[in-house]
Structure 1
């Protein structure tokens, strides 16, 4: 494959960014141009819930310039993503339509979990350093303008990720109405940050040792220049960062501007960012702070390179999504052996039915996650487990999944235990609107029905929770899905449950599932 030019656009809470990249198997991902424009979309959204007409005008003007730059490079492929400011704005659909009509650029709103996963891919693109760093307890701290994300690794597995509403612009807007000197304001910010972080530590850092911190986010790129050498620093010990932080807290705004080469508006955001990074360092007891120097646009390019197979990553990102899902199942006390058996059965059914269900690799992943967390609702109570499971899933971010995908999984878990009614399947209409028209309401309903039918049948295959059918074989013959087991004991419970779920499965796929028990010859 020849070198391909690709453009990434980040419609962020505080700035618009365009990155032009060369992507090739031989040379990997190389940024060849970068343009940014400061525009505080988040200020409007976080204060008023809407993006003003004046900012829409300014944004369209800048994006039109981006479109002209892309045309000059003769770029045919690009991705433009909008994050929290656009995500939380009540008028976001109108704004996106204005951008499309006036600039020709299609902007897609991505969920917080997708945004953080994309940035994470940019870090992972630095294969050698990343893989070496995460062998010891590691936390990625991604401080944005609207919120921050803390992701925890155990060896090379992503085990947990949590979003906290501690974005630097959001904090700055909260502080804008408080009359206080620099020291008092910094103390208030520290207290605000500590309040969230102490809760996080109690819930997610218990008995967990963190040796390394990976810092990403726009502000850390500027803070890393503050070593006095004028060059960005990529690795800092906790002691060195502490010394740097103690000098920074006493600096007036004009000194921060001079030292970091930013305007007053941006300088006001660096102090909250430094406080967050320092408090996380102190809270975790991490010894080393790695600053890989990546932006969201770098992550968008990495995502494109991975999905088009232009660049091969050694790290398995799908396993990260599954690891986070399994950690969620563990947190909500899901039955481990039953869950593992369910996971195997849903994948076996899915793979056996490829010619009949019309679903792909991504839907297979959604089904697998549904099986892993299908019983999480029992953590709340043994009655109405479907509704409880739905609420837990919709309240829990799963890194790498869009809001729409999470809602699909939540509905599959819900309808695993209650009757399926095509006319009563409900979900947030705005979610599939953000998929650029790729899915209709009917598409989503049918997908939920397909995944539910498979999940129900797999659940029936381990009705006793004793994994009796674990070694069964599946095949489709003459309009039947034959599930054949050589288990020699009693499978009455499984057979009854299987027969109960067979009608719905046949209704969805036109294939009748049949359970057969073959006795072993003695």
Structure 2
């Protein structure tokens, strides 16, 4: 029997650096061989000073060099190292990344917030067996990071909504530290601060969700589980009463004392009270009395992603579908024409699939096209005049779970170019790498054709067959309507496709008798 390949994941977090090494399989979750943790307050520097100091960076380099030496004994096929908000928000992050690569030979990839949170959802949904049954009812997932929290809503098995708030445990602790000496009720002050942001969230959240379940994620949860007498390395359920007792314990003990008798690193001990207060606020907000605490982290997600890419492992929950549902929620918020959007989406995806030998784009590009279609008319909510520009700006200002800022930009420019001139030298667009501009051009060409075929927003075309002929993209349509407007629109909007692929889009009509 062939030996299974070994892969590794490294997470450079705000309070801790973690390494996980695992064997991968097509039919099972990664089997973890070794896990290493090193506590390091990267986030304290970033959130307080705006950059990572050299002494802290030196300590980070030392940890990473040690991790790399540890990998040598495993014959690791591939290691992926990622960093999150502490590195992402540091003004000197480019210098830090360069030092990491020079000292450890690790190419550290900084995740955007939406990418990071999607990975957390991937880990939780894969490692919590009952995840699918939980989200069949109203479920709130609260991902408590050091720098912020991400609140995601599921109902009827579908992702509904997600919102980020700058309420991370470390950020709260450091932001309010100056006030600790000036109040006898520091916990009450933290509670009040958390409540103010929760009030803002209340204005944005989808209405009509009856919450039945709460799932919490975050780096401090293993330590809270430990204090509650639960196994920190296993999935656990915490009752509201247990959480209340934890809060009282954390209020009554100083972090240093807690660290000494509970074997919890002091840097983590200082974060447990703000974390517990965040949990309690959401328990009170939802009225849910049982908290699901899965054993899942960012390294787990990276290893699961490796298994999907290299072994065809199929996670039980499809995060890509969450991305599509998130974009549909944005589209509904801006009152897009759902019938027109559905037609254009179906048509654009058909065109993508039938012309793949021309454009040679991958499955991720197909997802970006799908999101661009869903959002291409959102700008009409702002201004009907030049709405494509408003759509572009709205998308650029949005965060969509599972998509990087680069991918958001590709979607925004694709939607922004769905009508009007296509100019490679347009300010802003010209700043993108050439490969990205070409990808946008290809996606835009497909979107323009699909949009042209429903120019009147009346879905006149009953069915569509796509055929590639020498120099022509033949669109054979069945219709019982006059589609002169669509033919005229295609003549204008099909030019970009012809310029890119040297194939002229043409319509062949098969009439359907009424």
Whether the TM-score (by the shorter chain) exceeds 0.5 is yes
Task: Say if 1:227 and 1:233, in contact at 8 Å, map to a contact too.
Answer: no
Structure 1 Cα separation of the partners of residues 214 and 340 of structure 2: 36
Structure 1 Cα separation of the partners of residues 386 and 197 of structure 2: 31
Moved more, 22-31 or 90-99: 22-31
Moved more, 181-190 or 227-236: 227-236
Deviations 1:130-162 (CA, angstroms, capped at 9, x unpaired):
112222211111101111111111122111111
The answer to whether structure 1 residue 130 and structure 2 residue 131 are counterparts is yes
Structure 2 Cα separation of the partners of residues 322 and 451 of structure 1: 17
Counterpart selection for 2:357 from 355, 358, 373: 355
Counterpart selection for 1:336 from 335, 338, 342: 338
Deviations 1:29-63 (CA, angstroms, capped at 9, x unpaired):
12221111111111222222222222222111111
Give the Å deviation of 1:419. 1.5
Structure 2 Cα separation of the partners of residues 412 and 129 of structure 1: 38
The answer to whether structure 1 residue 453 and structure 2 residue 463 are counterparts is no
Task: Say if 2:22 and 2:31, in contact at 8 Å, map to a contact too.
Answer: yes
SS at match of 1:465: coil
Q: How does 1:359-378 map to 2 (within 5 A)?
A: 359-378=361-380
SS at match of 2:87: helix
The answer to whether structure 1 residue 412 and structure 2 residue 404 are counterparts is no
Counterpart selection for 1:518 from 496, 510, 513: 510
Task: Say if 2:471 and 2:502, in contact at 8 Å, map to a contact too.
Answer: yes
Q: How does 1:269-418 map to 2 (within 5 A)?
A: 269-418=271-420
SS at match of 1:401: coil
Task: Say if 2:128 and 2:235, in contact at 8 Å, map to a contact too.
Answer: no
Structure 2 Cα separation of the partners of residues 166 and 244 of structure 1: 20
Aligned to 1:67: 68
Task: Say if 1:305 and 1:311, in contact at 8 Å, map to a contact too.
Answer: yes
Aligned to 1:32: 33
* Superposition RMSD in Å: 2.0
Q: How does 1:70-149 map to 2 (within 5 A)?
A: 70-126=71-127, 128-149=129-150
Moved more, 444-453 or 26-35: 26-35
Structure 1 Cα separation of the partners of residues 230 and 388 of structure 2: 58
Give the Å deviation of 1:205. 4.2
Structure 2 Cα separation of the partners of residues 72 and 401 of structure 1: 35
Deviations 1:446-465 (CA, angstroms, capped at 9, x unpaired):
11111111111111111111
Structure 1 Cα separation of the partners of residues 23 and 220 of structure 2: 25
SS at match of 2:159: strand
Give the Å deviation of 1:245. 2.6
Q: TM-score, normalised by structure 2?
A: 0.95
Structure 1 Cα separation of the partners of residues 13 and 470 of structure 2: 54
Structure 2 Cα separation of the partners of residues 470 and 94 of structure 1: 57
Aligned to 1:23: 24
Q: 1:188 to 1:492 in 2, by over 3 A?
A: same
Give the Å deviation of 1:233. 7.0
Q: 1:244 to 1:182 in 2, by over 3 A?
A: farther
Give the Å deviation of 1:65. 0.5
Aligned to 1:474: 466
Structure 1 Cα separation of the partners of residues 41 and 458 of structure 2: 57
Q: 1:470 to 1:168 in 2, by over 3 A?
A: farther
Task: Say if 1:222 and 1:260, in contact at 8 Å, map to a contact too.
Answer: no
Q: TM-score, normalised by structure 1?
A: 0.93
Task: Say if 2:246 and 2:276, in contact at 8 Å, map to a contact too.
Answer: no
Task: Say if 1:425 and 1:445, in contact at 8 Å, map to a contact too.
Answer: no
Q: 1:240 to 1:55 in 2, by over 3 A?
A: closer
Aligned to 1:490: 482
Structure 2 Cα separation of the partners of residues 208 and 69 of structure 1: 47
SS at match of 1:421: coil
Give the Å deviation of 1:346. 0.6
Structure 2 Cα separation of the partners of residues 12 and 22 of structure 1: 23
Deviations 1:193-244 (CA, angstroms, capped at 9, x unpaired):
1111122122214211111111111111111112246767700233432343
Structure 2, gaps ≥5 residues long: none
Structure 2 Cα separation of the partners of residues 462 and 132 of structure 1: 39
Structure 1 Cα separation of the partners of residues 382 and 203 of structure 2: 20
Structure 2 Cα separation of the partners of residues 46 and 101 of structure 1: 25
Q: 1:427 to 1:520 in 2, by over 3 A?
A: closer
Structure 2 Cα separation of the partners of residues 350 and 230 of structure 1: 49
Moved more, 385-394 or 454-463: 385-394
Q: 1:417 to 1:482 in 2, by over 3 A?
A: same
Aligned to 1:437: none
Task: Say if 2:429 and 2:437, in contact at 8 Å, map to a contact too.
Answer: no
Give the Å deviation of 1:182. 7.5
Give the Å deviation of 1:402. 0.9
Structure 2 Cα separation of the partners of residues 14 and 4 of structure 1: 30
Structure 1 Cα separation of the partners of residues 256 and 95 of structure 2: 38
Aligned to 2:200: 199
Give the Å deviation of 1:122. 1.0
Moved more, 263-272 or 236-245: 236-245
Q: 1:428 to 1:491 in 2, by over 3 A?
A: closer
